[in-house]
Structures are given as structure tokens and as C-alpha cells.
Structure 1
Amino acid sequence: MSAGAAAPRGSQTLEQVKLEVASGGEPRADVVRDRILISWRRSRLWGVEPDALDPPYDQGVELDTMLGRAARPVLDRLAAALSGTAMSVLLTDRHGRVLERRVSDASLARHLDHIHLAPGFSYSEEHVGTNGIGSAIESREPFFVAGAEHFVHPLSGVSCAGAPIFHPVSGRLEGVIDLTCRAQDATPLMAILATEAAADIANEILDQVSSAERALLRAFLSANRRAGRAVVAVSKDLVMTNTAAAALLERADHVLLADRAAEIARQGRTHGDVLLSSGEQARLRLETVEGSPGLVLEVTLAKRARGETARAAAPPGRACPELAGSSGAWATTWATVEQCCRSGERLLVTGEAGTGKLALLVAAHRSWRQDRPLTVLDVAELGVDGALARLGRAPECCGTMLLRHLGATDPRSQVALLRAAWGLPRASVWVAATTAARSDGVSDLGPEVAGFFDQVVTVPPLRHRIEDLRELVPALLDRRVGQDRVRVEPAALNALLRHPWPGNVAELDRTLASALGRRPTGPIRLEDLPGSVHCTTARVLSGLEAVERDMIVRALVDCGGDKLLAASRLGISRATIYRKIRGYGILLEQEAHRAD
């Protein structure tokens, strides 16, 4: 593919389409490539701003890793082949952080420095939008981005092709190899070269994989087939988890499990307990592996292992222990979901987008049915035929069957899906479904669907349980960066408490991600929050309006709320800034206190 091949196929320019997507619009399908459009939508959901480029920097990049050692000879060969050309070669880890950069053209090197495409900076989609590195990570496939196809305008001067690197034994994503050049120098060979280089690095990793790791993989696969529960394999440099373990464990738990399992093994025992990062106690069953120092672990939460009798003593009406929030509305919703899961009553969960409908159901399953499989069928992704096919193959021992986005299809298909789900044995399968509801409470389901369910519960929007935000903020930050690395200053927290959150918890999470992009460690301040948090307007802003609003908010924050000084810095009149403040509904913390 060449840079010219990526030109828009309609009358609109890519920049016009991009602004339309950034403001929540939907362009014609013939204007931009499908893969690019999907990535642009993800970028908008991340909260990436089209005119902003500020990737986070981590000076503690580790180069002496398995990936670094395997990639080095491939990078050497590729850099030598491209010597004298205006083409750079980059290696990143699985999070999009640049580990190495090879570039012989001084002018291109300066430009890459200008756009922060250098070791230590993160080029994940979450931080810089559509690009060859981050989009390859998200799609798990080679990804080419030409010039203006980048979501953020400062990257439109380059084209890039990234290819993911997978571990040949575990299948885990290890990193990305990327070729980047100026947009006018793009060539169809870039994507091919990147893909071949990724395969070469995977082969180098395979050469490093010992016979002990192969033995560990065989033992892990064997345990996964027979266990039917969370299985983890650990060694010095490798951690493998099955689907059940991935749903149960946080990233920090991998280290906890490895350390505790080694301690139990040294004591000559095969069973032991470990306290997970969530605060829950887990039971471990260890299996040694012949020919390998690694261990295979079966993991079961202690409260599940004790059986239903111990669980029944739990106080009714409490808030969900796995999800942040303790308000009455949240606790009442959780009590209904939990009771239905425990008794097997068929449940429909409705609510606005981003309220946490699926999270509640998964938490209920983990509380009461963790020892049995969880199946989530996303009707919006699978379509009716795909969902029906999956239902037809569902095992009778399935513990929980969740139909997500049930309202994404027509009423007749909704009935067909529910009839198929109701054919599963009720004694062993709990069936629940989620569907969206507008802010006025209107559901997207047909009138005959409600009769299929024993109970219907509506998850309250965040604005109706705003007091939970004080618990949600640290929980969401902890999930992203870990404990004690970052906190929110009182002025910023007050701004968050005043926002109406039309996108609910999902919008709050994106807002915090945006703030972390500006300040990855230390206290998050008022000026780190995106401009939307400071506004009360309900109308959807265009991309240009959003950029203008954010500039005004930032200037006001920098000037301590002084409108005249902010107008002077922006080069606009006093009348203009007052008109813009009223039009965008901008309310800063200082004004909020005066309004109380």
C-alpha cells in the first residue's frame, strides 16, 4: 500500500471526516478505510484530542529482556538494509512504549524527536490515537497508517507500518516492530518488511525458549483441559493463564502467585493459600512439571471452595465487594443481581451505556458460580446467527450464560435468541442479558421480550449515585497505574463531582485516562482534566468547538480564573471570551464555590 492508496474515496477530506468522528458523527462508509475508521472511533472513546500530541514518557525502559535480545539481530539486519534511506525502524513493548529506534537520516531523526517517537515514549492508541504501533496492538494484526489517517494532526506528516510480535509458545503479545517515514516517502514494502521482521523476531524468541518452557506449556495445556477452573503456569520468565484465570486475577496477582507458589513448593506441600491484590483469599493446588522448574497452579477463591453454606451468611443489600461504590442505589441494584445469580432467576439488566451492566453480572458470577464456566455472547459483535450458533454449542455444564447487547437486533431475533437460551438446563445454567436504555428510561427491546425474564433491574446512571465517585476515582486509577502512584487533588475531585457524566462510569474512566496522559505520576490537578469536565453544556460539540473549548479552559485555569488575562493570552476580546464561556457552559472550580 502506498500513501496515495490511502486517499479518501469520497468528496470529503480525511481531516473533515476525522473531525466528524471526533465529534461523535458517522461518515459515509466510502470515505475512509474501515480499519482506520474503527481505530478513529476507539481514539475518540479514549479521549484523544485530534490536535494534541503528548505521549507519556517512562525513563525506566528495560532493554535487556527476552524481546530485546531476540529483536536485536533482526533490528541490526533491517537497519543495515535501510541504511541511507529516510526510513526508521522501531521496537516497542506490548504496551506501545518505544524500546529502540534505528534511523540513519538526520532530518527524519529530528522530526521523530519532534513528535516524541523515541525510546521511553508510549505510542499506544490510548495516548496518541491511530498509529502503526498502537493500532497494531489493538487489532493484533499488521497495521499501516498513511499520513492524514493518523487521528492526531501532528502525526499527519509521517506514514508507519507496525506488526505485532507474538511469543511462539504462549501466544502472548510481546511487542511491535514498526517502520516509520515521512508521508511522501511511504512505500508498499513497509507493511511487508514489518510483518517479515516480526516473524523473524518470533523465531529468535523460539530459539531462546528452552525445553523446560516447552514442558511447562504441555503441562499447562493438560491441566487446562481437565481442570475446568482457573489455571496458571509460572516460571522465572513466563506466566500463562487460561480464560478463567484472566477473569479472576489482576496483573499484580501474577507476581503474588509466583512468589507464594515457590514458597509452598519449598515446604514440600502441594496446597496453600494466597491473599490476592483484591483482598480475597485464594486456594492454590500446585503441580510440579517434569523437566521444568516451573509450576502449574489451579486457583480457587476460598469463599467459593467453602460452598454455598458459607456464602449464605453474607448480609443482604450490601454493595458489590468487587466493584467500587456503596450508595443505596448501587447496593440495591447489586442485591437484586446477586440474588438472581444465587437462585438462578433469569435476569434482564438495563441501563444507560457505560453504567457497568456487564461488570455487575460478571461480579455476581465470580461471587457465586466461579467454579463453573462463564460465557458472554455479544449480540452486537456476533450477530443473530453467530449468537444462535454459539448457544447451540453451549455445554450443559455452563454455569452462566450472558447475552450482551440483546437490543442490538430486531424484536423477532431477540425472541429467537431468548428461546434458544431458555433451552439450556435451568438447574445448571444461569441466563442473564443486558440491554441499553436511553436517559429517559426507554429500552431498545421489543414488548414481548420482558415476559421471558423473572426479574428486570435498571443500573442507576452515575449522576444518580454521584457520591460513589469518591470511591470510583481511586479504584479506576488503581486499575490503570497501581496503588500510591497517583491521586486526585481536592479541586479536581470537586470538578469531577459537579460533572453530569452522560457517559457514566465509562466516561469517568476515559477522563482519568486522559488526565494520566498529562500527569502519569503524582497529584492530578484541575488543569490536567480535559475541557469537557469544566463544561455544563448538553449539546454535542464539533471537533473544532471541542478544541476551542479546551483552549479556553486551559487558559482560564492557567490564569487562575482571570477572564481578561486569559483573553489576552488567547488573543481574543473580552466580549468574545465571555460569550464563549456562556456558550460552552464553562464553570471553573473558583466560580463553582461562589455559586454554592
Structure 2
Amino acid sequence: MSVPSPRMPKGLSGAVRARERLITSGAVDDALLRPEIAESWRRCREADVSAHDLQQITPISSVAQTPLARHSTEALQTLAGDLSEVSAGVVVADTTGNIVSAAFCDISGRDSLSEINMLPGYSFAEASVGTNGIGTTLATGRPTAVIGAEHFNDAFQQYACVGLPLRHPISGQLIGVVEMTTKATRDELATKLMRHTLSIAKRRIEHRLLDETTSERQPLLRLFSDRDALATGPVLAYADGFEICNTWATLTLDVEDRAMLQRTALRMITQHSADRRQVRLHTGAECVMKPTLLMSSGLAQDGLVLELEFIGTSRSLGVIGHTGTSSTMRLGENYRRFADVQLLSGRSPLWLQTRTDLGAALRRRESVLAVGETGTGKTSAVDEIFHQLKPDGRSTIVEPEDLYRRVRRGRGFAQLLAGRPDLLILRNIHSLPQETIEPLAEFLITRSADVLVAATYNPSHMSDRMPSAQLLPFFQHTTMIPALRHRPDDIPGIVAQFLQVLAGDRQPLRVADDAMAALSQSSWPGNLKQLHDVLATLVSNLEPGQTVQRSDIPRFASLSDLMVLTAMEAIERDAIVQNLYECNRNKSATAQALGISRSSLYRKMRAYGLEDI
């Protein structure tokens, strides 16, 4: 599930006792509260927030029609309409905590939330009204659930709220929060399903923001794609705050070259100049810059596509034609590279920018964090880009379980370098236990500077109070790896590669247009792992070379029309799928994460057609 929660106090009685102590003595009792709630209460105390009076900021007269407000209104109204049987409200707030959009599932929910001014224009910043789903999510940048007595202010004691951070789909910058509020409940599964309900609105809002961003740059992206299709060398595209490049550029241009080209391109955009010129790169290579300027006529950003043609050298072909052998060593059993599918071949704007960002950081020899949901291909992306930059390089991928075993056996981490790797990738550091942190930190400090280090983690599982958070300062650069649902244009290519590899020496399956369209539009809560398993099932069920029809797609593909489900049933199904993949399909761990019994999980899996996962 996209936003798993920490363990909740049983019956929330701990929060009630902690609140009584807060009121009587002013003390925050960590033993009775979840860590994130205790930290929020301390921030409220430091900000002198009242636990009794609701000192909200006077509402602004009108809410500005920002892109966030504009796109959230439709998404919230759609979600509220789908959940008409639930007495709740959903809102979106900006980074100041001001609500910019709201929708209510029924009249009862509207009346209840109006009592606490959960309406557009009102501020729910933590420093104004205390611990709540909006303000605390903004304060931490992480998903937050606040139930009943966990609220700092008396006015919210009868409510349960869940907030998810909204981030710009390209920059990853925090732009607001989407939050749901209802009457307080002790049902842990219900609270987790609230998170999945919100994740639907979050996806819709971020999709619309992405569509708007890419539509503004669509002419530039089309021009870049046209030039890249015919390219025999580097091609780069620039706009204000935006840069993408093709694989040739990633492989052949160093940091100084890229910086110089960016400065030149932005200057040409400002001057409206598109003259060809010969330049000498930092490495001494001579090349001709062939710019194409794209003017916006005031409707969108100006942009420029830059092609490079090397003079008197085969530099642009040198890396691609390299005959050295690369190697990847894997320490641990859990890592499954996605059937050697080339993830970098994606052409969606979001993936192009992700690839450019990650490649530039590795070329600068920065230590890198690849952050994203389970199954998005974080490790594969880092490893693949590294081996494109250094075809004869050696990489070692390390599981957290292997690190833990080394500490328990007193072996230390020096042996990780026994194979003389050029890159060390530490997977899923959010799951590292406390015992590994200090020795791993020492290793990161004392390792040879010749060894690059990257790490991956799922931000939904990371918090400041977790041991692994102490490792984050050792990494210089963070790249968000987008979820598969944000890359629908890349899915046909990924499907074709998966099917080719899964077929082995047999004829691969073909996919009918309507089936491919359905696969491209699925929510894919399990990301690439789920897509791989769906295609593996199809290869097992169908004859070699057969054409996949829409009706052949297994039920666990999360397609909206394979089963007739209510909105809440669809949310529950996706929650189960995502938890299964996050728990490596361990049913006991999945049931525990969802807060239900294993027998209940099996019953729900049968009902939703998830037995094949």
C-alpha cells in the first residue's frame, strides 16, 4: 500500500492518557504516543499552540485559482461522489496550510466538518491549530494519520484525519496536502483504507499537474523527440527550469560540458538567437552546436533543442561501441531485476527528466538516493544508468538482510569491496535495523573515494525517527523514481520487452490494441513487479505467438472493468495488492500490515481474484 502507517496504539487509550498528562502537567509522554504524534505535540508546545482555543487564522476572502486549486476541485468532487455512502470530507491545502478546495461525501459530513471550519480559505497549519492531518503532513512532508485524542486541540477530538503530501510530479517539490476527515474510528483497516482513498485523489491531482506541465512543453518535447530519432550524437532540450537529454548526451558529456551547454542554451533563449557555432568542450573535443529555437508567442515557455556534431572524432560513438564487459554482483536473495528489461528506453517526459537527473548525478560522482514506491525499478534504474556511463564498470547490489547478517556475525562491511566494485547499491535502507546504522555510517565515511555509493528507499516507510534516517546526510543527491501509473506512455515498450524475455526461445505473445490500452491505463499499485507477474501469467496461460485479448488479462491486473466493484472495494483491492508486493508477497506480513487476520486476507484475495499473486 502506498502509505503504510506505523503501529497504532491499541484502542487509542494511550493517546487519551497522554493527552490527560499533557493537560495537567504539560509533559509529552513518548511511551503512550506514536513517535510522529509525540514530535508534533512538542512542536505545538514550542509554538505556544493552545490545546483548548481554536485560534485559526481569519479566512482569506477568496482562494486564488492556482493550478493546485484548479486541478484539485474536480478530483475531490469525483472522489466524494464515489464515496457518497461515507460521512466524510476531502480537502486540499497549499504549503501554508490554507484549504484551497473541499468536497463532502454527504450532508452529514459537510455539516460536521463545517463546525470545525474545514472550508476553503481557512488555515490548518500545525502552528495555528495543532496536530492535524493537514498541518502535520506539511510539517513533516510525510503521510500522517491523526485519530481522536491524538489531535492537540480539543475541537478535533471526535475526528479522524489522514493527510498525504502532494508533490509536483516532475520536480518532486512539496506543493500541498490532500486530506480526508471523518468521525474518529478505532478500526485500523478503515484508517488505512482512508489512506488508499486519498491516494486516488492524489494520483488524479498529480496526473493533471503533469498533463498541464507537459502540455505547456509539448512542442519542445515533440521537437526533442524528432531530433533524437535521427540523432547520431547528443541531443538536449532546455527551457526555464527544465532540461532533458538523450542517452548519447548522458554517455559522452561530463559535468563541465553539461553546465557550459546549459548556460549557452539559456543565453540563446534569452537573446532569441539560434546561430550555429563551433565550441570546444571541457574535455578538449571540438563540436558544432546546432540549435533550434522554439518561441512561445507568450502562451508557454520558450525552449531550445540543441544537437551536437563532433568534429574529427568518433567520441560520440566511443562509449556506445565499447567492448568491455560489465558485471553486477547481487548480495541477498530478494532483489529481482526486471527480466533485464531496459527501463531507460522509456520516452515519457517524466521518465526522460528522471533519467537525465540521475545520470547527471552519477556522472558528477555524487552519492545518490533513488526514492520511490516498491516495484518502480529504483535499483534497476541506478544500475542501468551506471553501466551505460561506465560499460566496463562493476556494481554490487546489497540487500538490508545481508548487511544485518554481517553485523550479527561481526564481519563488518569491508568485504563488500572484495570484488572491487565501482558502484555499491544499498537497497531498501528504510528497513535497516538499529544495529547496522553505526557500522554502516562508519563504512560510508571511511570507504575509498573510488567507490560510488547509491541507496534506495520507499519514502512511505521512512521517518525522521527511524534508525536509517541517520544515513540520509551521507548522500548528496536525491532522485524520485516515478510510479508506473505516471508513465503510461512507456508501458507498451516495457510490455514488449517483458514478453520478449519471458518467451525465451519461443515466439513472444502479441497484444491487441484494446488490451494494450487497458494495460497502459491500469493503476498498477504493485508497479513493475505487478506488471511483470501479469505478463508472466499470460505467457503461462496462452500459446506462443498468440494475441493477448482484453478478456485474457488476469483479474489481479487492477483493471477497472475486469470486476464490478464499488469505489471502496476498488480501494481495498489496491491496498491489498500494494501491501502484497511491499511484503514480498508474504501473506502473514501483508495481513499484519493491513491490520487484519490472515484468514480475512485470504478471503479478500479470493473475492478480488488475487490468488495468483
TM range (shorter): 0.3 to 0.5
TM-score, normalised to structure 1, is: 0.38
TM-score, normalised to structure 2, is: 0.37
